Structure 1
Amino acid sequence: MSIEHLDSGDILAQAVVHGDTVYLCGLTPSDRDLDITGQTEEVLAKIDDRLAKCGSDKSKILSATIYVTDLANKPALNEVWKSWLGELNRPARACVGSIELEPGVLVEIMVTAAK
């Protein structure tokens, strides 16, 4: 079974497809002046775009790992997350808090999805 690396850079690929599974790298917001709601919305839009490029969509997400700099932001993040998913099946998910991300980044999300 082949492995396809999409949008590869010096240290990582934006996505890797192996069989019927899509692995996205950790995605962060471009606009670091946004609050947690805005940053989460931007990252989720990036996930939509990357999954579409790989022949998948958010309804097929199997798991998500979310990194936040402050767990106090988790309730706001969760509201955006629930709104984005709608009534779709909920994936397995972990939310890791109190970690240092790039300057100005409040959230980073990495997902694995079926095709």
Structure 2
Amino acid sequence: MAEIQRISGNPRMSMATVHAGTCYLSGQVAIDNRGGPIEAQVAEILDRIDNLLAECGSDRSRMLSVQVFMADLADMAPLNEAWDAWLPAGSAPARTTIQTTLASDAYRLEIAVIAAAG
């Protein structure tokens, strides 16, 4: 049976898990820029994703699937601008964007990632 690696966890959840060559990131939100402008929240979240992927033995070029949860789809343009600059050419994952109510009104978006590890 393949081992499960749990990264940066607490009793409720792990920030990431790795199993059978796949890395699963929990939804990432802006902590330092909570309540801040969308651009700052996106930049922080993308940085958090980079760090977690590295801990999983992966990187942004190995993302398989991404789910973006947004409080307001009016923020899509600044998200896409930052995303396009951050994403390596030729490595676009399957991506879904959903408008929804997030855990706090201070969060403008949350991003969950599944990536190939190793």
TM, length-normalised to structure 2:
0.92
Amino acid paired to 1:93: R
Partner of 1:97: 99
Q: Could you tell me how far 1:10 is from its partner in structure 2?
A: 2.2
The answer (yes or no) to whether the contact 1:71–1:98 under 8 Å persists in 2 is no
- Tell me, which stretches of 5 or more residues in structure 2 are unaligned? none
Partner of 2:9: 8
**SS of residue paired to 1:24:** strand
Q: Could you tell me how far 1:38 is from its partner in structure 2?
A: 1.1
Q: How does 1:62-101 map to 2 (within 5 A)?
A: 62-101=64-103
Partner of 1:43: 45
**SS of residue paired to 2:28:** coil
**Counterparts of 1:100 and 1:5 in 2: how far apart (Å)?**
24
**RMSD (CA atoms):** 1.1
Structure 1 runs of 4+ with >3 Å offset: none
1:63-95 CA distance string (max 9 Å, x none)? 000111001101111111111103141000001
**SS of residue paired to 1:110:** strand
Quote the sequence identity (%): 36
Partner of 2:35: 33
Q: Could you tell me how far 1:4 is from its partner in structure 2?
A: 1.2
The answer (yes or no) to whether the contact 1:69–1:101 under 8 Å persists in 2 is no
Amino acid paired to 1:82: D
The answer (yes or no) to whether the contact 2:29–2:111 under 8 Å persists in 1 is yes
- Tell me, which stretches of 5 or more residues in structure 1 are unaligned? none
The answer (yes or no) to whether the contact 1:25–1:110 under 8 Å persists in 2 is yes
**Counterparts of 2:82 and 2:3 in 1: how far apart (Å)?**
35
**Counterparts of 1:63 and 1:70 in 2: how far apart (Å)?**
21
Partner of 2:23: 22
